[in-house]
Structure formats: structure tokens, C-alpha cells
């Protein structure tokens, strides 16, 4: 150690070092050669800075560990893949939050004589978005009890009211002003038809190599500015063998590419689905993720990405 230090001091080069003294203080030493083949060393007491850095590191570790654990909890609320395989057959689900936790919901419940599939995009992402998903899923569970089976439009209306009440947005004053976009598909047991309702979220239908968009109503749910008695529209789709159905939040279409500097957009999303028409649904999920990463390049994912696709 002495030889190394002596070599540094006689090298004629500027160098710095940090060290702790026996009394527990931390120091920053800077050695600057002078014009007479000597050197000047200055010492700065950095004890308080080091203590602050340790506190920040400790706080960051606590927050990170908490968010990591919250991510496990949030992922555990997603529908079981084995159940979905039995329910939907050939399908895919993409749930890719841009942080450890996210503000998108993918949800399934048995409902009367069929099954309900829900995809939703809550206000924000990260921790605020994750809190909103808890409120939204709680409202969904309650609304499901209050609504006649199969009436997706009424279910969204009831959920809207419950979210407003849960956040105190049914009152004239308050701090919260949050909500979500949502799409629902009810699949009767015989699968002869699908019933769809949406709040600013569409259902994409692929049949005979063509894709059409069935738009949800042009209004969100939950926000303070919205009245308490919103009404939504039920759409009935008669199914045929080989039909594919997709729901997506706006996360994928809004991702900006490194090379183009442009978002994927709705047309790009539809074009991507059309290019995968001859691929199994399970493989489509992998291809969509690969296309997203290629489009992003070195760009950071800027929003949660969630999609579901299934075949009838």
C-alpha cells in the first residue's frame, strides 16, 4: 500500500482518493502536482455527505424491495394461465408494465352461463396506476354481483358509479380525479356469440383475413367530470369457426420507435395483426412482443402494454 501510494505521489499526475479515518469520519483527498516537483494535497471532510448517501441508498432499497414485492402481489391477481387455456383454447395474453407494477388490468370471472374477459387501462402507471387497479378490480367484483349476467354495458355503468364513490369523486370537492378505459367480452358457454361493451376501448375482429374494429363508447369511466348515470352500448357478434378477437390498451399503439420517431399507431397495430393471420394465437403473442422491441430499439417503453387475443 505504501509503495502504491508513493508511486501515485511521484507520478506527477493529479489523483483523488476517499478514505475513512479512525475516528469514523470520511475524507476526500485530492493530490495536485506543483511546478517544483512536489505536490499539494487538500483534504475535505465528506462525512455528512456519505451519511446522506447511505440514507438515500437505504431508502431506495426499502422502496425497491417494497415495489418488487408489490409486483409479485399484482401478478398473482392475474388469471391463471391453465384456466385460460381451458377457457379460451388458442390464445395469448401480454401484460408488460413499463415499471415493476402497472396500471393495466387483465381480468376473468365466470358469470352466469358464461365467462367474462376484461381488459382495462387505469389512470397513470407505476405505483399510482397499481393503486387504481386495486380500486377498479374491487369495483368490478362488486358490480358483477349487482348486474344481470351477460349485460356488459350495465356492468360498466355500475362499475363507473362504484369507482366514483370509492374515490370520493361523486362529491363536489375532493382531491382525486381518476378513472379508466375498459373493454369487456362476455362469452356464453356455447360460444355461438360474443357480447362486447367498451369505454374508449375497442374490440378487433379478424375474419377471412380481414380485420375490423368494433369501437367502444367514446367516454371513460370514473372521472369527476362525468355524471353518475353513464350509459354504454352492448354489441352482439355472431361467431364463426376461425374468428380471432383482440383487445388492447393504448400502450402498444403509442410506443415511439427509435428509428422512425413515431408511434406504432392504430394502423400499424392493425397491419401487424394482419401480417400474423396465418400464425397460431399463442405464436402471435411472441411475434407482437418481438415487433414491439424491434420498434422501440433503444427507446424506453413509455406506457404499460397489455393485449389479449383469442380464437373461436
pLDDT, one tens digit per residue, over 137-171 is: 999 999 999 999 999 999 999 999 999 999 999 88
Residue 189, classed as helix, strand or coil, is coil
Query: What cell does 32 get?
Result: 495536485
Q: To which H or E segment does residue 132 belong?
A: helix 126-146
Residues 164, 147: Cα–Cα separation, whole Å: 17
Mean pLDDT across 87-99 = 90
* Backbone CA torsion sign across 140, 144, 150, 153: negative
Q: Which tens digits make up the pLDDT trace of 221-269?
A: 999 989 899 999 999 999 988 899 999 999 999 999 999 999 999 999 9
Average pLDDT, the chain: 91
Which has the higher per-residue pLDDT, 145 or 125? 145
pLDDT of 293 higher than 80: yes
Beta strand extents in the chain (DSSP E only)? 15-20, 26-33, 39-45, 91-96, 104-110, 114-122, 180-188, 193-199, 203-207, 210-214, 235-238, 244-248, 305-311
User: Can you name the residues that pair with 39 across neighbouring β-strands?
Assistant: 33
Q: Which of 32-36, 191-195, 202-206 has the lowest average pLDDT?
A: 32-36
pLDDT for res 105: 92
pLDDT of 172: 80
Per the structure block, which three cell numbers stand in for 46? Answer: 465528506
Q: Is the pLDDT of residue 99 over 90?
A: no
Q: Which candidate, 179, 166, 250, places its Cα nearest to that of 221?
A: 179
Q: What is the pLDDT of residue 181?
A: 97
pTM of the model: 0.81
Domains of the chain: 2-63 (no CATH), 79-311 (3.60.40.10)
Amino acid at each position: 500500500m505504501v509503495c502504491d501510494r508513493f508511486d501515485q505521489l511521484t507520478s506527477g499526475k493529479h489523483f483523488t482518493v476517499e478514505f475513512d479515518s479512525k475516528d469514523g469520519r470520511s475524507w476526500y483527498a485530492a493530490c495536485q502536482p506543483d511546478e517544483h516537483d512536489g505536490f499539494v494535497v487538500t483534504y475535505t471532510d465528506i462525512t455528512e455527505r456519505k451519511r446522506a448517501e447511505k440514507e438515500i441508498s437505504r431508502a431506495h432499497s426499502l422502496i425497491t424491495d417494497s415495489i418488487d414485492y408489490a409486483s409479485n402481489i399484482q401478478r398473482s391477481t392475474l388469471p391463471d394461465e391453465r384456466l385460460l387455456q381451458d377457457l379460451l383454447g388458442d390464445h395469448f395474453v401480454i401484460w408488460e408494465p413499463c415499471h415493476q407494477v402497472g396500471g393495466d388490468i387483465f381480468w376473468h370471472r365466470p358469470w352466469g352461463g358464461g365467462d367474462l374477459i376484461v381488459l382495462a387501462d387505469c389512470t397513470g402507471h407505476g405505483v399510482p396506476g397499481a393503486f387504481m387497479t386495486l380500486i377498479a378490480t374491487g369495483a368490478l367484483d362488486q358490480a358483477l354481483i349487482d348486474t344481470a349476467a351477460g349485460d356488459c354495458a350495465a356492468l360498466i355503468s355500475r362499475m363507473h358509479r362504484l369507482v366514483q364513490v370509492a374515490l370520493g369523486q361523486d362529491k363536489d370537492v375532493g382531491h382525486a380525479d381518476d378513472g379508466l378505459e375498459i373493454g369487456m367480452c362476455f362469452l356464453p358457454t356455447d360460444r355461438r356469440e360474443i357480447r362486447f361493451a367498451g369505454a374508449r376501448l375497442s374490440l378487433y375482429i379478424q375474419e377471412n383475413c380481414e380485420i375490423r374494429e368494433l369501437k367502444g363508447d367514446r367516454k371513460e369511466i370514473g372521472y369527476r367530470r362525468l355524471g353518475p348515470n353513464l350509459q354504454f352500448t352492448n354489441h352482439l357478434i355472431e361467431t364463426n369457426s376461425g374468428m380471432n378477437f383482440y383487445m388492447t390498451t393504448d400502450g402498444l399503439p403509442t410506443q415511439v420507435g427509435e428509428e422512425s420517431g413515431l408511434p406504432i399507431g392504430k394502423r400499424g397495430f392493425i397491419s401487424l395483426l394482419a401480417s400474423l393471420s396465418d400464425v397460431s394465437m399463442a405464436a402471435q403473442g411472441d411475434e407482437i412482443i418481438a415487433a414491439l422491441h424491434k420498434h422501440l430499439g433503444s427507446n424506453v417503453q413509455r406506457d404499460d402494454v397489455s393485449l389479449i387475443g383469442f380464437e373461436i
